[in-house]
Copies of this chain bind each other. A is one copy, B any other.
Amino acid sequence: MNKPESIATRGRPREFCVDYALAQALRVFWTKGYEGASLTDLTEAMGITRPSLYAAFGNKESLFRKALDLYEREKMAYVGQALAQPTARKVAETMLRGAVDNVCGGDSPHGCMRVIASVNCGPAESIHDEIIQRGNLAKQAIIERFDRAKAEGDLPANINSEGLTRVLIAFLQGVSIQANMEASREDLDLLIETALDLWPSA
């Protein structure tokens, strides 16, 4: 896993695996946020030196973006699965359980990387903006899914889709923040079970 992928190129071949290094960088950013992760933290975790990092990933900010891409691709697959569920309740349930799994998963750090990074991005304003933008895309997708659910009759017609979406997102953010505040898996399960008890029925 930690070896090059060697696609026959010129010059001295890279001595580390870019994907593995990126995965390690993701772990660091995930636990410490953007500002909290220093280049020393990153290079030590990735097992490479500073110039190698800059040659392979550009700079800290573009490394973070690549790590965020990886995070959304691998760790937030449950969002897509959730949207594909047949009912609004199943959408919420899949998303909430996915969030808890994501946050409690074995050696994984605590909290959602997007939430952590949005608060902890420091002076890198563009990162904050990008996270907001990505979040708004997801929010829109959920709103449209709930609109469809209302049309299909598995959500009461008097429900405000955007309001319910913001509530669901608040639950997800609650999972993230409470996990970051040392809530156990049982605590988080209790949170989402109670949340699902409150969820509107058709």
Contacts and interface: CB of A to CB of B under 8 A. Distances in A.
A190 B170 contact: no
A178 interface: yes
A161 to B, nearest CB: 10
Interface of A: 33, 35-36, 111, 115-116, 118-120, 122-123, 131-132, 135, 159-160, 162-164, 166-167, 169-171, 173-175, 177-178, 180-183, 187, 190-191, 193-195, 197-200
Nearest to A117: B119
B132 A177 contact: no
A193 B120 contact: no
Of all A-B residue pairs in the complex, the 8 with the closest CB atoms, nearest first, are A170-B174, A163-B194, A166-B191, A198-B198, A119-B119, A173-B177, A163-B190, A120-B120
Contacts of A195: 167, 170
Contact of A170 (B115, B120, B123, B178): B178
